[in-house]
Amino acid sequence: MEHFIAGLPKLELHLHIEGTLEPELMFALAARNGLTLPWPDVGAVRAAYEFDNLQSFLDLYYLGASVLIHEQDFFDLTFAYLKRCAADKVVHVEIFFDPQTHTARGIPFEVVLGGIERALQAGEESFGISWRLIMSFLRHLSEEAAFATLAEAEPHLARLHGVGLDSGELGNPPTKFAGVFARARALGLPVVCHAGEEGPAAYIWQAINELQVRRIDHGVRCVDDPELLRYLADTRLPLTVCPLSNVRLKVFEDMGQHNVLTLLEKGLCITINSDDPAYFGGYLGANFEALARDLGASREQLCRLSLNAVEASWLSLADKARLTRDIRAHGACHDALPG
């Protein structure tokens, strides 16, 4: 199974680049930038990664991101992630960045975007990994702040492929951002939204009806609403599910309780993603392995999850056809799919 997963072409559609900051790089960047971290060493940082819920993680995630100052820091962060992708046979990524986490500290938008984009281009050249870049608003901040960020992004719109919404979900429903998402759509940007991670199924409906999302990020609480389940199965509106993240943030007690395969078998367009792999104990390959090990996912189901990600991606039809063929060929070669 490990060999099968290692060779399966995979796509990542829910990944916060700031969440790929490994403690080793965090310390290296802190030293390079003359900053002091509140932990003595890498081991102490890892020991602090015990989370009770989303907010307890976000507190550390924003603290960690404070070592990112220069364009080269954002490049190094992103390129390190793409190296891990190449090792995991990830062939396409659609990643989030949180500009407000950086502009609030006085880091120019252009520095953040420039470093990430340069690394994505270098990763495409070195590893053949294609990519899209999604600017995400922080939902614990105001809609006004999101409007200001969108205005700052406007000169760079051709370099952005979509808009998302992340950070603390409870008490910050999608409707709070209906105006700025309408503006983003009017500018031609497709939109996605974290919903139904800790928040209720009603937030998923809001993301669909009021934000007009192309995908739901997480969305696992859809299981509480039979009508929503039917809607998601009928429309194939994709869910970017993050199994290791959900267990680490106690959305599910353990992997054995995760509903991802149940949702897959109901016909939803479920995809598998790593969210913030440096904090949650595994990149995309590890998420696939956890499904096989703890949920008994079959090779056929893992192929289907990868094919769903092709369907859910923002790739061209030609690229989708090529990746579909590659995944089917891998499945057939391992008797997971008909040849």
SS3 at position 328: helix
Write the interaction track for Zn ion spanning residues 226-265; mark x where CB under 5 A is met and - where it is not. Answer: ----------------------------------------
Residue 54 interacts with which of ligand HPA, Zn ion, none, CB < 5 to 8 Å by class: ligand HPA
Query: Considering only 3-11, 34-42, 83-91, 268-276, which stretch makes contact with Zn ion by CB under 5 A?
Result: 268-276
12, 71, 197, 289: the active-site residue: 197
Q: Round to the nearest angstrom and report the end-to-end CA distance of the chain.
A: 19
**Which token pair is 24?**
């080793």
The CA-atom distances, in angstroms, between 91 and each of 6, 77, 242, 337 are 12, 18, 18, 20
Would you say 16 is a known binding-site residue?
A: yes
Residue 19 interacts with which of Zn ion, ligand HPA, none, CB < 5 to 8 Å by class: ligand HPA
Tokens 């429309």 correspond to what residue? 235
CA 30, distance to chain mean position in Å, is 25
Q: Which helix (H) or strand (E) holds 133?
A: strand 130-138
Burial class from Cβ neighbours inside 10 Å (0-12, 13-18, 19+) for residue 40 reads exposed
Pick 61 or 131: Cβ nearer ligand HPA: 61
Active-site residue flag, 197: yes
* Min separation Cβ 339 and ligand HPA, Å: 38
Rg, the chain, Cα only: 19
Pick 167 or 313: Cβ nearer ligand HPA: 167
**Which token pair is 295?**
């949920």
For residue 149, give the amino acid letter.
T
Site residues for ligand HPA per CB under 6 A: 16, 19, 54, 61, 166-167, 194, 197, 245, 275-276
For residue 87, give the amino acid letter.
A
Cα 114 from Cα 286, distance rounded (Å): 29
Would you say 140 is a known binding-site residue?
A: no
* Min separation Cβ 14 and Zn ion, Å: 6
* Min separation Cβ 49 and ligand HPA, Å: 13
CA 114, distance to chain mean position in Å, is 20
Write the DSSP symbol of residue 41.
S
Q: Which runs of E-coded beta strand occur in 70-214?
A: 90-97, 130-138, 162-166, 192-195
Query: Considering only 53-61, 68-76, 222-230, 267-275, which stretch makes contact with Zn ion by CB under 5 A?
Result: 267-275
* Min separation Cβ 16 and Zn ion, Å: 6
Would you say 73 is a known binding-site residue?
A: no
Q: Is 22 in the site for Zn ion (CB under 5 A)?
A: no
Pick 131 or 279: Cβ nearer ligand HPA: 279
State the maximum Cα–Cα separation within the chain, in Å, rounded to a whole number: 57
Residues in contact with Zn ion by the rule CB under 5 A: 275
User: Catalytic residue positions?
Assistant: 197
Binding positions are 14, 16, 194, 275-276
Binding positions for substrate are 276
Binding positions for Zn(2+) are 14, 16, 194, 275
